[in-house]
Amino acid sequence: MKSSRHIRALAAVLFVGVAFSTVAHAQGVIRIGEINSYKAQPAFLEPYKKGMELAVDEINGAGGIDGRKLELLTRDDNASPGDAVRVAEELISREKVDVLSGAFLSNTGLALTDFAKQKKFFYLAGEPLTDKIIWGSGNRYTFRLRPGTYMQAAMLVPEAVKLHKKRWALVYPNYEYGQSAVAAFKELLKAAQPDVEFVVEQAPPLGKLDAGSVVQALSDAKPDAIFNVLFGADLSKFVREGNTRGLFQGREVVSVLTGEPEYLDPLKDESPNGWIVTGYPWYGIQTPEHKAFFLAYHAKYNDYPRLGSVVGYTMIKSLAAGIRKAKSTDSDKLAAAFVGLSVDSPFGKISYRAQDHQSTMGAFVGKTKNEGGKGVMVDYTYFDGAKFLPSDAEVKKLRAVD
């Protein structure tokens, strides 16, 4: 009898313990470890961080995910792949984060992609544009949000073909993103216009542009048109020197990213006219989902969003949607949940493809215009990313994983 009472008492204690553990877990937090080059690339990443924080506030304000609030832990990688991996290790081992996210530069993104593969830990790449992340180095645990270099080149090439220019110059930062963007543009333009010639390439180190010598080399080659991949401070120097030396007079320019306010706004009265660009004309997007995002962002920060804001916001919303679908933060369950995952974004509904873990987020393509001493995008169209990716058969050749 005494033994029976003892067993019942022990069972009651165990039940209370399990119940307490379940409640504690439900009331706990989901920790998102985010790694980025904040000091090196503030123009994009300061608005990006604000976008992330807005999404976290919205999700937590609505009760979190099954009662669990999100906690964002951001770390700087010093624009170094080695530091990115070191920080990822610390976030997992010391901070006990549930997922990894982030990266701006393609080389740090690739380092985190490999880390995710080795550690079998879920990683959502928000911004890095090299396509090795989803193809050559792709793996079960890595997904990417932004349209990469192939997708953006594929959106720009039809516009480039319409120019009917034969002799092209290429200028790009000499690291993974620049090399990847130029390779995609050359391949796609050559396929669409076989008589095209690439008469000169200038590939300065990222952040170390000698604008005078680069502009002179391009001018000496006498191209009909220029494909530009420079961004940030390098872009500003290039535009200023090109304007001074007349490089752009009578020449068409096709340019990746230049229509993003992060890079167009600083040009001010030096903003070029008529460049064909990818970008983000926040001031003219009238869809209900974008209006809602804009109003929420403006209410919180008294500022307008940049493209980084959209990326950061949608990255957190994607993680939340994936965790809800998986009902877990376990990396294997989360990776399975992200396959085909549908997410609402300021650009409309997007999904993460099963073939290569690339999201179908698109981009705006239009032309630059110097309007009252400020650069804006005009004649723009939103291109659905799903329409600018290789076929499934091509992806299978490119992605020899899983």
CA distance 142 to 133: 8
**b/e string for 298-332 if b means 16 or more Cβ within 10 A?**
eeeeeeebbbbbbbbbbbbbbbbbbbebbeebebe
Beta 167-171 vs 225-228: how paired, if at all?
parallel
**CATH number of the domain at 25-147+286-362, out of 3.40.50.2300, 3.90.1150.10, 3.40.50.300, 3.40.30.10?**
3.40.50.2300
pLDDT in tens, 310-320: 999 999 999 99
Position 14 pLDDT exceeds 90: no
Helix, coil or strand: residue 225: strand
pLDDT given at position 353: 97
Are domains 25-147+286-362 and 150-283+364-388 of this chain identical in fold?
yes
Q: Which residue has the higher pLDDT, 292 or 15?
A: 292
Position 362 pLDDT exceeds 90: yes
pLDDT class of 15 with cuts at 50, 70, 90: very low
What are the φ and ψ backbone dihedral angles of 132, each rounded to 5 degrees?
-60, -25
Residue pair 82/89 in contact by the 8 Å Cβ criterion: no
pLDDT given at position 322: 98
Q: Which of 396, 331, 347, 367 is nearest to 146 (CA)?
A: 347
> Which residues, listed in sequence order, are joined to residue 168 by a DSSP beta bridge?
198, 225
Residue pair 259/368 in contact by the 8 Å Cβ criterion: yes
CA distance 301 to 335: 33
Domain ranges of the chain: 25-147+286-362, 150-283+364-388
pLDDT in tens, 144-183: 999 999 999 999 999 999 999 999 999 999 999 999 999 9
**Cα-based angle 146, 151, 152 (whole degrees, multiple of 5):** 85
Residue pair 43/3 in contact by the 8 Å Cβ criterion: no
pLDDT in tens, 217-228: 999 999 999 999
Tell the CATH topology of 150-283+364-388.
Answer: Rossmann fold (3.40.50)
pLDDT in tens, 247-256: 999 999 999 9
CA distance 326 to 342: 13
> Could you say which DSSP state residue 105 is in?
S
CA distance 156 to 188: 10
What are the φ and ψ backbone dihedral angles of 117, each rounded to 5 degrees?
-65, -45
CA distance 5 to 204: 80
